[in-house]
Amino acid sequence: HTATHCNTLQQAAALQWAGWPGFDNIRFREGYVTSYNRMTKNPNWVCQHLCKEVMNGDGNRKSSGEPFAEDPQDPPHMRSTLNDYKGSGFDRGHMVAAGDIKFSQKALDETFLLSNISPQVGLGFNRGYWERLERWCRGLVNKNEFSDVFIITGPLYIPSKESDGKWCMHHQVLSNGQGVHVPTHFFKV
């Protein structure tokens, strides 16, 4: 396969010309690079390269079966789990969308690792605004506006100002406070 995607350390290194936003638990996947936060059990960020060669190919979501999977690179007590999401009311929201990475089945399957997932409100956000933003990013390449698009995506935890004027951090944590932290916001640049 001759596509210019992020499937080797050398190609991944080319993505970091402006520097990484952090270096915690860096993972080099076939279709993206990520930094995983073992405290929040969310990615700190993911970096991907979109081009037509990456977005097209044999990768097929229907071939994945039950695609979501825990990331075995983390110790069990430091990884997000399928049970964290069960009954939580949150969608398992992709940071790198499965629809972005189709050049191989393995690359597509890696987008379903929970280290690429954050809890997102489903109706209206993950299945609304976020999905439209993902399609818009793909459209930049599909409509030939750009041949290459580099994207960094991740969760944010933004404090809010209390009535006493102090700034405090408030966000939900799944699984009785032992699981995945629920971000207050997301970024995609």
Q: Point out the catalytic residue in the list 5, 49, 94, 181.
A: 94
Residue 12: name the closest of 25, 29, 35 by CA.
29
**Bridge partners of 154?**
187
Beta strands in the chain (DSSP E): 26-28, 32-37, 42-50, 90-94, 117-121, 149-156, 160-161, 167-168, 185-188
Structure tokens at 107: 């690359």
94 is catalytic: yes
Active site residues: 94
